[in-house]
């Protein structure tokens, strides 16, 4: 069984080790199951741009969804006659 808390602990350590940086946001997303990779993002941004933070997360999620779709298309192609 995977240690689902490990990415959160790593993120907390990364935040703690950057006390002088301007915190631009952080996110850890752990998908269910064992196939998907977690998304870990720490932004150290002097501008503190909220829109940039959310658009970066959205882009990362869209990339994961695209990979899942491609994987499903390939898998379904092997079942065709």
What is the model's pTM?
0.77
Beta bridge partners of 25: 43
The torsion angle over the Cα atoms of residues 64, 65, 66 and 67, rounded to 10 degrees, is 50
pLDDT digits (tens, 9 = 90+) for 28-49: 999 998 777 889 999 998 787 8
pLDDT digits (tens, 9 = 90+) for 7-25: 999 999 999 999 999 999 9
Burial category of 60 from C-beta neighbours within 10 Å (exposed 0-12, middle 13-18, buried 19 and up): middle
3-state secondary structure 5-47: CHHHHHHHHHHHCCCCCCEEEEEEECCCCCCCCCEEEEEECCC
């Amino acid at each position: 069984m995977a240690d689902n808390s490990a990415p959160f602990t790593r993120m907390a350590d990364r935040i703690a080790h950057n006390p002088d940086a301007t915190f631009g946001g952080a996110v850890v997303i752990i998908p269910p199951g064992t196939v998907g990779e977690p998304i870990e993002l720490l932004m150290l941004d002097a501008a503190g741009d909220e829109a940039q933070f959310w658009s970066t997360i959205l882009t990362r999620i869209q990339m994961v969804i695209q990979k899942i779709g491609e994987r499903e298309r390939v898998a379904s192609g092997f079942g065709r006659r």
